[in-house]
Amino acid sequence: QVELVESGGGLVQAGGSLRLSCSDSGGTFSTYPMGWFRQPPGKERELAAAISWRGGSTYFADSVKSRFTISRDNAKRTVYLQMNSLNPEDTAVYYCARGARYSDTYQVPLEYGYWGQGTQVTVYS
């Protein structure tokens, strides 16, 4: 069974940076698009960033564009979310998710069927 485990969350001052990691223990990692969702308290979950299965294409929500970078290391079976210039609006639980194998529709939220447990990111002023 697939297992996604996020790490790297924590408390950070506004303007600072964090890097989240998600390790995938199942499947052939390189064949799946990967995404990072986030859910602020009391708000709906949104797709913040995603990366295609080949790693050549990425997606970013308008709210994080130019500040976040998504990347993957298939040898380490890990996807990363580098978050720079953080602000309090970025405070949320961040979830790693896996899309459909060989799918090129990684930017569509319904694409994702497997989820990690989430990691908390809190940004203070």
pLDDT digits (tens, 9 = 90+) for 15-70: 999 999 999 988 889 999 999 999 999 999 999 999 999 999 999 999 999 999 99
Q: By the 8 A CB rule, do 104 and 42 touch?
A: no
Q: Which residue's structure tokens are 């990684």?
A: 106
Q: pLDDT digit string (tens) for 56-101?
A: 999 999 999 999 999 999 999 999 999 999 999 999 999 999 999 9
Backbone angles phi, psi at 76, to 5 degrees: -95, 0
Residue among 21, 111, 8, 7 at smallest CA distance from 59: 111
Alpha-carbon span 98 to 51, nearest angstrom: 10
